[in-house]
Amino acid sequence: MPEFCKTEREGRLFIVTINRPDVMNSLHPMANAELEKAFDEFAEDPELWVAIVTGAGDKAFSAGNDLKFQASMPAGQRPQHPKKGFGGITARFDLNKPLIAAVNGVAMGGGFEIALACDIIIASETAIFALPEPRVGLAALAGGVHRLPRMIPLKKAMGMMLTGRRVSAQEGKELGFVTEVAKPAELMKEARRWAGLILECSPMSVRATKEAAMKGLHFASAEEAMKGTYPAVQAMIGSQDFVEGPRAFAEKRPPQWKGR
């Protein structure tokens, strides 16, 4: 059984909870390895369509890298992150299934990078975001320095990254990297609501949309992006859901999605 994370299944929904509340859900190599396995399970199971990641307790989503653990390592050594990145997620570029971050408190450094790697961020009113690595002689190299400037205006991102300053949930929403702010007691309910809205849609269409949107960002123009080739789009066109959606609409009934 995993020691540093918990997983739950609720129908098509998969919930991953970082479970090191005694150290603000910071991650060491063992926790990273467990999270990578958890997200592997989500990625590989055709019955799971949406995932939520959150932190145990009410203080922290994740404070990022466990610096105390790192400091205890022999000189010259550094923690090795899994192949799929910090938290088993920041370098998982081939996942077309949607991810929701339910940020229940502090999301610092690698914790913020985990949230940025998700498609939707639902933040508690008490959530705090920062990339404070320069303050401890490091840099946010698990995607933070690249994802944040792609999500919010460059000067705003640089202001955060070069100072390591802390940003509230409300400011994060105003800047544009937070999707929704919820009261602390309502956070998971709100995250599940968003997951439910996604689950009303065809999973084939959702994956095609995510893949086209994310890979399309690699192109210099919308015209080039629209001419790109996206395997998930081809899979959607050849799926049963592609037939079921228009048929259900014409018959005025809820669609019965198959995910294939």
Catalytic residue chosen out of the listed positions 8, 36, 47, 113 = 113
244 given a catalytic annotation: no
Token duo for residue 220: 């210099």
SS3 content of the chain, % helix, strand, coil (to 5): 45, 15, 40
Catalytic residue chosen out of the listed positions 34, 36, 133, 190 = 133
113 given a catalytic annotation: yes
CA distances from 251 to 206, 255, 259 (A): 22, 10, 20
The answer to whether 27 and 64 have CB atoms below 8 angstroms apart is yes
Cβ-count burial 108-132 (b if 16+ within 10 Å, e if not): bbbbbbbbbbbbbbbbbebbbbbbb
**Residue listed under structure tokens 């269409």:** 205
The answer to whether 31 and 44 have CB atoms below 8 angstroms apart is no
Q: How many residues does the chain have?
A: 260
Q: Would you name the residues annotated as active-site residues?
A: 113, 133
